[in-house]
Structure 1
Amino acid sequence: MEYIIQTHQLTKRFTLEPVINQVSMNIKAGEIYGFLGPNGAGKTTIMKMLLNLVKPTSGEIKIQNQSIIATSYEYLRDIGSLIEYPIFYEELTAYKNLQLHCSYMGYKDMNHIKKVLDIVGLQQSEKKKVQEFSLGMRQRLAIARAIVTKPKILILDEPINGLDPIGIKEVRELLVMLKQQYGMTILISSHIVSEIESIADTIGVLNHGELIEEIPMHSLRNKTHSTVEMVVSDTTKAKQLLEEAFNANVQIIDGTTLHIQKAYEKPSTLTKHLVLNGVDVNEVETLHQSLEEYFVNRINGGKQNA
């Protein structure tokens, strides 16, 4: 398995207390890695360490099998990034800003600039000065600058900030396209689970500077569960019937309501079994645990049943 970004016990202290505490993360080549955590969890600090903007106190960083030290810089040619609030030459146009960026990155294909501006939805604004841009337009330009040189790796810190719902959808589609068509590896941070879950291949959950979970998305979906809620005429008898027949985990919520977990049969099968054995079923509903609920629980220290 090829990892393009790895950290081993990465730690950063600005005072005695670590801001980042022994984080070991592994990002596969060609995947979208979603970095999730509340504001202040340390996501930006880790991204800055990957880009050598902040030096680690201890631990190791390897990018494309190269160990990164304080003086490393050549590896940055293969990385596009958006960290915190993007800075531009305000008196210059969007096109000119990207042209300058390509020049100092040593990228020669200036014809690619117009294509990238079109991709991020700024084709009508390429001649407008950046000082006239809205927050959302600046964010689109920052994404354009990150991808214009066709880097192998994208590091994007909260890239949907300032975007409207249409813009957010377009960014999601753009990132998937960059992965599929260009094979880019993308590390994207957010504190909004719903904006990550639809595109990420792997999730890393960071809280208080510690990586509390790193898990493939397909495994994560298997860990979240559904609960079947039933309103029945006899909860005690229904509980006994379901546990004996299906080895289900059944809880009596009140005098008429059951919650059934780990029931691998369809709700219709459970209902039929109860009715055939003399229990009336008045209501049936499937309650799904969302990924957002799962992450909130993990960040708050809760345990999940697999």
Structure 2
Amino acid sequence: MNNTIFEAEGLSKQFGGEMALQNINMLIEQGDIYGFIGENGAGKTTLMKIISGLVYPTKGTIKLLGKTEKRDISEVRKQMGVLIELPSLYPHMNAEENLCFYCKIHGIKNTNRIKEVLNLVSLSDVGIKNAIDYSLGMRQRLGLAIALLNEPIFLVLDEPINGLDPTGIVEMRKVLTRLVEEEGVTILISSHILSELQLLATKFGFIHKGQLIKEVSAEELLQSAETKISIKTTDTAAAIKVLENELQIHTFTLSNSGEILIPKELIDLEKLMSIFIKKDIPIEGINLSTANLEHYYMDLIGE
């Protein structure tokens, strides 16, 4: 199969007089976990719906699983799994009954697949409890199970960890990583929990006001920001005075939360701690900070 899973060239979508997407050029390759990042209304869901065939672009072209013709694209979409917005569940059916229904829709005759996906998303113990009584996190898990029924090559997931507790988020990360590493699945995923997305994704696309403003690999993200020593103190003024007068360090910044950030190469961490202790500077916390996805995105959009 072609290594290109999805490619967009000059993709735009207009709703009335409003441009939801503007000239999107985007590339997702086999094995990527592509983290799609943007504010509400940036165009993430619109693009995912175009990929899934739920919305048609105003202009531009797409390539999906190596296909460019509309008829061929419609056919290869059968090899996709999709979870966009809230999953469509029958509220008065339990998990197994919902999955049985979707097996019929997809023409899946292997009923063992139902137990497999329920185990994957940790819903094998819900029994006869109907979907109407599920928590938001349980509904998200069942939605993912539905998306996995047809053993997809390409998964499109819009906020799949929405409503999950911390344990559920970790489990979801493990499931998605295993799908990529063991089954060769490629994933496009959006989430507002950027710290979690940074742990999961291998590539990031940043969209703002309908425009894809940057694509970057996880490795490039890490290399983009220098490692800094982060100091939290109750006496910032005194700490700054020590940095400038005692250590001759003038290259530092203050974070929004009041932490002092110093480029790591300017001073040894142990020496810094020793000076602060000697000068009776009260230290609440000191650590090394690396590239932060949230800060990277906010810098990109100028906020």
Given candidates 276, 292, 295, the residue that maps to 1:293 is: 295
Partners of 1:234 and 1:35 lie apart in 2 by 40
Which residue matches 1:109? 110
Determine the C-alpha separation between the residues in 1 that align with 2:84 and 2:273. 53
TM-aligned CA distance change 1:266 to 1:236, over 3 Å? closer
Q: Which moved more, 1:25-34 or 1:1-10?
A: 1-10
Q: Is the 8 A contact 2:64 2:73 kept in 1?
A: no
Give the Cα–Cα distance (whole angstroms) in 2 for the partners of residues 191 and 225 of structure 1: 24
After the TM superposition, which of the residue ranges 20-29 and 119-128 deviates more from structure 2?
119-128
Which ranges of 4 or more aligned residues in structure 1 deviate by more than 4 Å? Answer: 229-234, 268-272, 280-287
Q: Which amino acid aligns with 1:58?
A: K
* Partner residue in 2 for 1:41: 42
- 1:191-239 alpha-carbon deviations (Å, 9 max, x no partner): 2211200010001111111111110011101112233467565725743
For residues 121 and 218 of structure 2, what CA distance do their matches in structure 1 show? 27
User: Which deviates further from its counterpart, 59-68 or 211-220?
Assistant: 59-68
- Matched-pair contact (CA < 8 Å) for 1:235–1:252: no
Q: Which amino acid aligns with 1:195?
A: E
Structure 1 stretches lacking a partner, 5+ long: 243-248, 275-279
Cα distance, 1:72 vs structure 2: 4.4
Partner in structure 1 of residue 82 of structure 2: 81
In the superposition, relative to structure 1, how do residues 136 and 235 fare at CA in structure 2: closer, same or farther (>3 Å)?
Answer: closer
2:144 paired residue number: 143
User: For structure 1, which segment, 171-180 or 119-128, has the greater mean C-alpha deviation from structure 2 after superposition?
Assistant: 119-128
Query: Which residue is 2:196 aligned to?
Result: 195
SS in 2 for 1:98: helix
Residues 5 and 264 of structure 1, relative CA distance in 2, 3 Å threshold: farther
How far the C-alpha of 1:281 sits from its partner, in A, is: 7.5
The answer to whether the 8 A contact 1:78-1:153 is kept is: yes
Q: Distance in 1 between matches of 2:261 and 2:94?
A: 60
Q: Give the residue type in structure 2 aligned to 1:261.
A: P
Q: Provide closer, same or farther for how the CA distance between residues 128 and 225 of structure 1 changes in structure 2, counting only shifts above 3 A.
A: same
One-letter amino acid of the structure 2 residue matched with residue 295 of structure 1: Y
Greater Cα shift, 192-201 or 222-231: 222-231
Instruction: Give the secondary structure class of the aligned counterpart of 1:154.
Output: strand
CA contact (8 A) 2:8 2:27 kept: yes
CA contact (8 A) 1:36 1:192 kept: no
What are the equivalent positions in structure 2 for 1:197-276 lying under 5 Å apart? Answer: 197-228=198-229, 233=242, 235=244, 238-239=247-248, 250-251=251-252, 260-261=262-263, 263=265, 266-268=268-270
The correspondence of residues 153-168 of structure 1 with structure 2, limited to 5 A, is 153-168=154-169
TM-score by length of 2: 0.83
Gaps of 5+ in 2: 232-238, 255-259
Q: Does the residue aligned with 1:263 lie in a helix, a strand or coil?
A: helix
Task: Out of 64-73 and 157-166, give the one that drifted further.
Answer: 64-73
| CA contact 1:231–1:281 (8 Å) conserved in 2 | no
Q: Distance in 1 between matches of 2:261 and 2:194?
A: 26
Distance in 2, matches of 1:85 and 1:269, equals 53
Q: How does 1:178-189 map to 2 (within 5 A)?
A: 178-189=179-190
Inter-partner Cα distance in structure 1 for 2:8 and 2:267: 42
TM-score, normalised relative to structure 1: 0.82
In structure 2, relative to structure 1, the CA distance for the partners of 1:112 and 1:226 (3 Å cut) is same
Distance 1:35 1:251, change over 3 A: closer
Mapped contact 2:154–2:186 kept (Cα < 8 A): yes
CA–CA distance in structure 1, aligned partners of residues 267 and 181 of structure 2: 36
Task: Check 1:294–1:55 CA distance in 2 against 1; reply closer, same or farther (3 A cut).
Answer: same
Matched residue type, 1:298? L
**1:60 offset after TM fit, Å?**
0.9
Between stretches 96-105 and 286-295, larger displacement belongs to 286-295
Deviation, 1:263, is: 2.1
